Structure 1
């Protein structure tokens, strides 16, 4: 059956290529290397197990949790939707 200019599965191939490019970009942004022995914010020692598990680690668990919670706080719409304001 004739499909025009695109071959069978061309759309899926394009989607797969886009996803693969995104994964590659994300992997390139990951830190690499041994990481720090002490936290760059509070100077607490970073355990060897954490340094082995998280390549390029720069923060202790407490500082990383604090940073993650600060980022997550900005993701919520605290004003609510129009529907909730009309009630």
Structure 2
């Protein structure tokens, strides 16, 4: 027998699903342009990276360093 908490959880899940669907639709219509040169070190960003990661602004080395830095402080 469903109670009010189950109903509330179902309603919340439905709203989350709707919000995620709207966001996914917006992201798919937005064209992201990758930079030709890294924002940090000004080295060229390889074409393979620009195609694989649309909207990238850093080369692989700088992005790796940034991710490592962020993971240390994300607690």
Q: Report if TM-score (shorter chain) is over 0.5.
A: yes
Q: Which runs of 5+ in 1 are unaligned?
A: 77-87
Structure 2: runs of 5 or more not aligned = none
- When normalised by structure 1's length, the TM-score is 0.59
* Cα distance in 1 between the residues matched to 2:52 and 2:37: 15
Render the CA deviation track for 1:13-68: whole Å, top value 9, x for unaligned.
Answer: 4313224425628x75xx84221111011011101110011111100000001111
Q: Quick check: which has more Rg, 1 or 2?
A: 1
Taking the aligned partners of 1:19 and 1:72, their CA distance within structure 2 comes to 28
> Quick check: which one's helix share is greater?
2
Match of 2:15 in 1: 17
Find the residue that maps to 1:42 and give its secondary structure. coil
Q: TM-score, normalised by structure 2?
A: 0.67
The RMSD of aligned alpha carbons is 3.3
